[in-house]
Amino acid sequence: MSGTSADEIRKHVKVYVMVFVALMVLTVATVGVSYLELTIPLAILVALVVATIKGSLVARYFMHLVGEKKAVTWSLVLTAVFFCVLMFIPLFAMLDHTGQ
């Protein structure tokens, strides 16, 4: 990012601190929720949603993903698609198993 000036960086620093606080809050929240003894499917959903929010904050603000160039974003979109394929298709294959 050879174009950002020192002033812009100072504004970013404020954001970094706010993101850190948000991540701390979400960490406490996700641990807290785990003590609520939700049903497994709901617990998984909540945990993944919170993790996704935290991950998005890291990606967007620390890794500067917003406004990143096309070659990078499209490579990551492609990766995300294949990641989902790897996550779900073997699972479907296992669930659609013949026999017991």
Partner 1 sequence: MDTVATLDHSHADHEHKASWWRTYVFSVDHKVIGIQYAITALVFLLLGFILMMIMRWQIAYPGQPIPWIGQFLGDANAPGGIMLPEFYNQLGAMHGTIMVFLGVVPLAVGGFGNYVMPLQIGAPDMAFPRLNMASYWSYFVGGVVMLLSFFAQGGAANSGWTSYAPLSIIATSGQTWWLFGMVFLITSSLLGSVNFIVTIIQLRAPGLTFMRLPFFVWTQLVTGFLLLLAFPPLESAAVLQLMDRLAGTSFFMPSGLVVSGEALDVSGGGNPLLWQHLFWFLAHPEVYVLILPALGITAEIIANNTRKPLWGYRVMVYSLIFLGFMSFIVWAHHMFLTGMGTAISAFFQTTTMIISIPSVVILSALFISLYGGSIRFTTPMLFALAFMPMFGIGGLTGLPLAFSLPDLHLHDTYYVIGHFHYVVAPGTIFALFGGIYYWFPKATGRKMNDLLGRIHFWGTFVCMNGIFLPMLIQGLAGMNRRMYDGAAQYQHTQGVLVWNETIFHFAVAMAVFQLFFIVNFFWSMKKGAKVTSDNPWKATTLEWATPTPPPHGNFVTPPEVHRGPYEYSVPGAVQDFTPQNERR
Partner 2 sequence: MEIPYTVEDREDTGLNNVKLGIWLFLASEVMLFGGLFSSYVLLRVGAETWPVGASILSVPIATFNTVVLIASSVTMVMAWASLKMNDFGKFKLYLGSTVGLAVLFLCVKAYEYADKFSHDLYPAESTFLAIYFTVTGLHALHIVGGIVVNGYFVGPGSKMWKTAPEQFTNRIEAAGLYWHFVDLVWIFLFPVLYLL
Q: Do the Cβ atoms of 48 and 13 come closer than 8 Å?
A: no
| Token pair for 15 | 């954001």
Query: How many chain residues are in contact with partner 2, going by CB under 8 A?
Result: 51
Please give the residues from 11 up to 50 whose contact with partner 2 meets the rule CB under 8 A: 12-13, 16-17, 19-20, 23-24, 27, 30-31, 33-34, 40, 43-44, 47-48, 50
Nearer to partner 1, 45 or 78 (CB): 78
Select from partner 1, partner 2, none the partner in contact with residue 99, using the beta carbon and a kind-dependent cut-off of 5 to 8 Å.
partner 1
Report if residue 74 touches partner 2, rule: CB under 8 A.
no
Rounded to whole angstroms, the Cα distance separating 50 from 19 reads 14
Dihedral angle at the C-alpha atoms of 49, 52, 58, 60, nearest 10 degrees?
-110
Chain centroid to CA 41: how far?
A: 19
Size of the chain in residues: 100
Q: Does 35 bind partner 1 (CB under 8 A)?
A: no
55 or 90, CB closer to partner 1? 90
